[in-house]
Amino acid sequence: MSVVQLVRSTEKPWIDAASYWTSLGAATTDLETPLGAISLPALAHNAFEMLDRVAAHTSVPKPIRVASKSVRVRGVLEAVLAVPGYSGVLAYTLPEALWLAKTIPDVVVGYPTADRAALVTLGTDAKLNSRVTIMIDSAAQLDLVDAAIAPGKRTPIRVAIELDSSWDSALIGHTGVFRSPVHTPEAARALAETVLSRPGFTLVGMMGYEAQIAGLANKPASKIRGVVVRQIQRRSVAELADRRGKAVAAVRQIADLEFVNGGGTGSLESTAADESVTEIAAGSGLFGPHLFDQYTHFSPAPAAAFALSVVRKPTPAMATLLGGGWIASGPPSADRLPQLAWPQGLRMMPNEMAGEVQTPLRGGAAAKLQVGDRVWLRHTKAGELSEHLDQFAIVDGGKIIETMPTYRGEGQVFL
């Protein structure tokens, strides 16, 4: 049984960077690198701050469904779900959802699946079938389910429709990510009618991820870009609230929806204020990766980080880490690199940057680093860090109180 509990606190130890990072280092000094650590007070702060951001923008309680791809540590998922205000998981693959649903009673798969074996399991296991909802955005995905397991051979499968939440601006064109083709209220209702007409399916929900609001930093280094991004987000919020409200109303005329999910860590406020949304998906804000340092309206604590060792000194003014090339997904750019968190005063070499097996560093602090010393880094994104580690050390009060395996540490690889 895990001893980890998330408790609200007013203390913010990460504000004093030197004390925070050296304390993490002291607590984990007996662990070999590469190592990952999670500060329990920082994780708790982030979890409660996310709840506060939702509560401040709605008069109706709206739970946060934890986006598992931004965590990928089952123990952390369970600890967060034990906090009132969090409910259910938004998974990223059906095999992952089936694995989680053995102990978590409400799992929605946020992306369509083509895993036929997993669909057979879902259709024939009564317990998992009652706990897992799959995502669709076209009749072709229903056809794939039927091809994997015929309607007469399965328990009806719970289905949710994804509404495209991107913004089609008359001036700048498509803004957001390319996900669902279901963009209009009419298209949402038409697909809902198709689901209802097909045996072996039960329509229970809708979802929409507004990437251009939730996942687009609105306080970048360029002030001009920041102004543009914030204007885009204001316009998009208004457009989406109107369109999503109409789409949900159109579907509710013919289906009794259990949930309407929306959001992301960066859009908790605006999504909570949308009356058509009943729950919000978020996860990245729990770990507080450095991508979220560039937002105006919230500032998560750096709860999760990793440490690498100095293994050579190419020159007296340099230090080289073993490893470091843990590059985040997305458009290739400098903001996808790990951030050198501690000691301060380090920078990567422009012609090498973060390498697969070594990362040379320069800067004032590099000269002071010796072979065997450690450097703390933060990943750009949240859950992707878990794919490089088999466990996290959970640190509180200057010591390790527990170690938690990542998905990888439990022998699970889903993407």
Give pLDDT tens digits for 9-41: 999 999 999 999 999 999 999 999 999 999 999
Q: Which residues contact 369 (CB under 8 A, 6 or more apart)?
A: 310, 313, 319, 343, 361, 375
250 and 326 inside one domain: no
The answer to whether residue 214 scores a pLDDT higher than 90 is no
Q: Which residues contact 131 (CB under 8 A, 6 or more apart)?
A: 101, 104, 105, 106, 107
**Domain of 383: which CATH number?**
2.40.37.20
247 and 357 inside one domain: no
Out of 234, 264, 287, a domain closes at: 287
pLDDT tens-digit map of 172-186: 888 889 999 999 999
Out of 287, 313, 345, a domain closes at: 287
pLDDT tens-digit map of 124-140: 999 999 999 999 999 99
220 or 202, which is more confident: 202
The contacts found for 406-413 with CB under 8 angstroms, 24 or more apart, are: 406/36, 406/72, 406/73, 407/72, 407/73, 407/74, 407/96, 408/72, 410/74, 412/96, 412/99
The average confidence (pLDDT) of the chain is 96
The count of domains in the chain is: 2
97 and 185 inside one domain: yes
**Domain of 283: which CATH number?**
3.20.20.10
Reading the block at residue 381, the tokens are 């994104």
Q: Which residues contact 253 (CB under 8 A, 6 or more apart)?
A: 189
Reading the block at residue 349, the tokens are 């070499």
Record the pTM. Answer: 0.95
108 and 221 inside one domain: yes
Torsion of CA 179, 184, 186, 189, to 10 degrees: 40
pLDDT at residue 174, as a whole number: 87
As beta bridge partners, residue 55 has none
pLDDT tier at 223, thresholds 50, 70, 90: confident
Out of 287, 312, 330, a domain closes at: 287
20 and 158 inside one domain: no
Nearest to 269 by CA among 243, 312, 298: 298
pLDDT tens-digit map of 225-256: 888 888 888 999 999 999 999 999 999 999 99
